[in-house]
Chain A
Amino acid sequence: GAGVSQSPSNKVTEKGKDVELRCDPISGHTALYWYRQRLGQGLEFLIYFQGNSAPDKSGLPSDRFSAERTGESVSTLTIQRTQQEDSAVYLCASSRDFTEAFFGQGTRLTVV
């Protein structure tokens, strides 16, 4: 596809379970970002990948959160032992360096 693709679009999970969110960036985009957005709030930066450089993990809220990216392709965000406070929309974006960021539709995570 031509845009950033995220899956699943919706995920309901039980408290304490692990979840894995996937992001397929636009081909050729070296930069990839993950953000969390709680209901009615702005974007909360989680992690940034740029090519083969070490990722900027400064926004990850706890060690239950981790993310991987293979080269310049797909990325996965994993949340272990989910808590209700993790309920939010998780947005992925990709870009060429610092130019326009293209966002996916997001994954709406609900922890019950």
Chain B
Amino acid sequence: TQLLEQSPQFLSIQEGENLTVYCNSSSVFSSLQWYRQEPGEGPVLLVTVVTGGEVKKLKRLTFQFGDARKDSSLHITAAQPGDTGLYLCAGEFNRLAFGKGNQVVVIP
């Protein structure tokens, strides 16, 4: 059973376009983390959202935690090739549980 479902699994867009990816669960989490993994590297933490409804911005990336703390979204504005990577969400569930990831490819 996958604790965190991420959609879409794969997304390819042109440079300059906007995109949104999602992380959903049936469980309530005290916090959710978003990581980015670039090719050949391990995942690196981007942000942690803690409060229901919270919105955090990291340059062109906007992260939102759902009001019920069961889901989260990541929106990228004017995507750049450097945004290419696997985006992973993670939440506490006896252990830190990761979703399968959203593979994002930004084409120049």
Contacts and interface: CB of A to CB of B under 8 A. Distances in A.
B70 to A, nearest CB: 17
Interface in B5-61: 6, 31, 33, 35, 40-45, 48
A31 interface: yes
Contacts of A45: 97-98
Contacts of A100: 33, 45, 48
B42 A103 contact: yes
Nearest to A50: B95
Contacts of B45: 100-101
B92 A98 contact: yes
A26 interface: no
Contacts of A62: none
Interface string A68-105: 00000000000000000000000101010010110111
B90 interface: yes
Contacts of B33: 100-101
Given A42-B101, A43-B100, A91-B42, A101 B95 contact: no
A65 interface: no
Nearest to B3: A45
A95 to B, nearest CB: 6
Interface of B: 6, 31, 33, 35, 40-45, 48, 86, 88, 90, 92, 94-101, 103
